[in-house]
Amino acid sequence: MIEYRIKSVGGYAEKIGELVSMLEYSRAVTLDEVRGLVQKDLDFLTNKSSNTIGAILLHIASIEFVHQVISFDERDINEVELQKWKTALELGQQARSEIRKNDIEHYLTELAQVREQTLATLKDFSDEWLFAEKQWENGIPYNNYYLWFHVLEDEINHRGQIRAIKRVLSESK
């Protein structure tokens, strides 16, 4: 059941608990949107330069993974991690070629595994961690709250793409 209230989730610092509430709401809506899709739907391309729903779902997982590494480990992804996630991160032609022929459970498992790690690790941090000031290599400041806001906004944005693809898909049937 989707919770339609943002409130602090127990077991976390107050603001982190609110962030968890938002992350979980966003994910519940995404999962509801893709429920029942079959492989053919997940691989459907609206045109030769679009992304598939399957690729978008892996992209959502990849963005969350990268933000785990940046915020939790305070580093960039390494070569091994990049090998696993690069295609999903970048999307485009390589994703159209390689991210195919998986059933919905494949994508849901990836999303769940990444999210499980996020939720477990967020329990270790205080609200002060959310607001800790850092700088990108180019000198632009950011904080962990921004990083996790970006995870939310990216998923919500791509869920809009999934809805648009589903509309075209339903019209083509």
Residues 61 and 30 sit within 8 Å (Cβ to Cβ): no
- Mean per-residue pLDDT over the chain, rounded: 96
Model confidence over 35-57: pLDDT tens digits?
A: 999 999 999 999 999 999 999 99
CA distance 37 to 99: 16
Burial grade of 48 (CB within 10 A; 0-12, 13-18, 19 or more): exposed
Model confidence over 77-136: pLDDT tens digits?
A: 999 999 999 999 999 999 999 999 999 999 999 999 999 999 999 999 999 999 999 998
CATH classification number, 14-172, choose in 1.10.3470.10, 3.20.20.10, 2.40.50.500, 1.20.120.450: 1.20.120.450
Quick one: pLDDT band at residue 30, thresholds 50, 70, 90? Answer: very high
CA distance 121 to 114: 11
CA distance 16 to 10: 10
Quick one: pLDDT band at residue 149, thresholds 50, 70, 90? Answer: very high
* Both structure tokens of 122: 């967020």
Q: Does residue 59 carry a pLDDT above 90?
A: yes
Domain ranges of the chain: 14-172
pLDDT of residue 172: 80
